[in-house]
């Protein structure tokens, strides 16, 4: 299996599919569950497991039937948290609630991958450094 992560742009496009008429309601729910699990597992979005707590509390808890925040032990492992979220989505959310959540997530996800923006900044820095070094070399050979 390819270990490369999908770009955030692709995830955002998949979120649009959920709200479109391309899938029926149960397919949309299952697709949504998969995307949420993928988001939970991404360490570029949430470097620490405890970072997920704010995301889960702000996006999901209000839509669940019991409206109770998850216990802290669920944030110890992403897979355990993902499994609980999957169960709650399956049992507590209807299509309309899923569409509301999709819209919220779509608006808070960054437009480009965090690692890509770091790489771009790093490559710009490298270009500038190489240009500066070439400039110094050229001045050194003239004198």
> Confidence band (pLDDT; 50, 70, 90) for 131?
low
Of 121 and 82, more confident: 82
Mean pLDDT of the chain: 84
- What is the per-residue burial (b if ≥16 Cβ within 10 Å, else e) of 110-134? eeebeeeeeeeeeeeeeeeeeeeee
Q: Please write the tens of the pLDDT for every residue from 48-87.
A: 999 999 999 999 999 999 999 999 999 999 999 999 999 9
Residue 47 buriedness (CB in 10 A; 0-12 / 13-18 / 19+): exposed
> Confidence band (pLDDT; 50, 70, 90) for 128?
low
Residue whose C-alpha is closest to residue 52's, from 29, 65, 36? 36
Q: What is the pLDDT of residue 127?
A: 63
Least confident of 38-42, 44-48, 124-128: 124-128
**If you average pLDDT over residues 105-118, what whole number do you get?**
71
Q: What is the pLDDT of residue 67?
A: 92
Of 136 and 49, more confident: 49
**If you average pLDDT over residues 99-116, what whole number do you get?**
82
Residue whose C-alpha is closest to residue 81's, from 108, 60, 110, 109? 60
> Confidence band (pLDDT; 50, 70, 90) for 102?
very high
């Amino acid at each position: 299996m390819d270990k490369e992560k999908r770009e955030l742009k692709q995830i955002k496009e998949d979120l649009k599919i959920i709200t479109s008429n391309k899938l029926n309601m149960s397919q949309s729910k299952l697709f949504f569950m998969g995307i949420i699990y993928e988001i939970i597992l991404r360490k570029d979005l949430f470097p620490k497991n405890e970072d997920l707590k704010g995301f889960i509390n702000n996006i999901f808890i209000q839509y669940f039937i019991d409206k109770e925040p998850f216990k802290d032990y669920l944030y110890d492992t992403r897979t355990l948290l993902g499994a609980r979220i999957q169960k709650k989505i399956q049992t507590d959310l209807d299509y309309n609630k899923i569409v509301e959540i999709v819209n919220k997530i779509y608006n808070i996800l960054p437009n480009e991958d965090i690692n890509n923006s770091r790489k771009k900044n790093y490559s710009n820095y490298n270009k500038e450094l190489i240009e500066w070094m070439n400039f110094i070399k050229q001045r050194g050979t003239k004198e």
